[in-house]
Amino acid sequence: GQQVMQIPQYQHVQEGEDFTTYCNSSTTLSNIQWYKQRPGGHPVFLIQLVKSGEVKKQKRLTFQFGEAKKNSSLHITATQTTDVGTYFCAGFRSNYKLTFGKGTLLTVNP
């Protein structure tokens, strides 16, 4: 079945440093979603990418969808302590079933 892999599993940065997490799928994805889960919280939707090569920005966050629609990345510029949490990518296996990666836990040292 479809596998969604994320690296790194953990990332610790100093406040102000940049951060990137990568997501790879074993199969082509129709689209990909990104969620953020704060410690002790629940996943919160960040964005959905649909088109091959798509790039979307949300303030300091930049999301990319690969040309082959099998990989994606999330880049945060100048991290802040409020960015702490686990970032998940998720791809659709059908028109409703999401497969989540294991996530990247980001910690930020103030």
Partner 1 sequence: GAGVSQSPRYKVAKRGQDVALRCDPISGHVSLFWYQQALGQGPEFLTYFQNEAQLDKSGLPSDRFFAERPEGSVSTLKIQRTQQEDSAVYLCASSSLLGETEQFFGPGTRLTVL
CA distance 3 to 93: 9
Binding window for partner 1 (CB under 8 A); candidates: 11-19, 56-64, 65-73, 91-99: 91-99
Sign of CA dihedral 78, 101, 90, 85: negative
Binding window for partner 1 (CB under 8 A); candidates: 12-20, 30-38, 57-65, 66-74: 30-38
Q: Residue 99 to residues 15, 39, 59, 107: CA-CA distances in angstroms?
A: 31, 21, 26, 24
Total of residues contacting partner 1 (CB under 8 A):
23
- Give contact residues for partner 1 (rule: CB under 8 A): 30-31, 33, 35, 41-45, 48, 88, 90, 92, 94-103
